[in-house]
Amino acid sequence: MTDITVSLSGELIELGHRLVQRVYYEDTDFSGLVYHARYLHFLERGRTDYLRCLGCEQSALLTADEEGLVFVVHRMEIDFKTPARMDDVLTITTITEKAGGAKMVLNQEIRRGETLLVAAKVIIAVINAKGRPRRLPETVAEKFLK
């Protein structure tokens, strides 16, 4: 069962993570192209599975210490380069640019083969369970910078 989970969650790469996803009918609009908001879903899956592969599941982080640890998107810059279509196989890559203090900066790409479809810079705020900023624990930051 572990092998299935690892392949479903993608794989760790140098300073980041890679996840492969297929485009389904539900991801497209009336034109047959992927609806722009669906790219946010693909990017979120990439970030979530990156955490999972690092051994940092979000539900466990919330209760890992008395303060709790939560990641929230603070800012996102997205460039839509070219559209994806139904049945395309996409690779979502997430690379850590910064992990420390009360934020992380992740660079994400969605590609179809070698073709860049979407590029995004995501700034993640680190907060506690009460919604207040907190420092990213050194042990967690190190995982993102390996």
Three-state SS at 105: strand
Three-state SS at 99: strand
Q: Is 29 a catalytic residue?
A: yes
Torsion of CA 47, 51, 54, 58, to 10 degrees: 180
The sign of the CA dihedral 11, 15, 16, 18 is negative
Gap between the terminal Cα atoms of the chain: 26
In the set 3, 27, 29, 87, the catalytic residue is 29
Between β-strands 115-127 and 16-22, what pairing exists: parallel, antiparallel or unpaired?
Answer: unpaired
| Nearest partner of 25 among 106, 86, 115, judged by Cα | 86
Residues noted as catalytic: 29
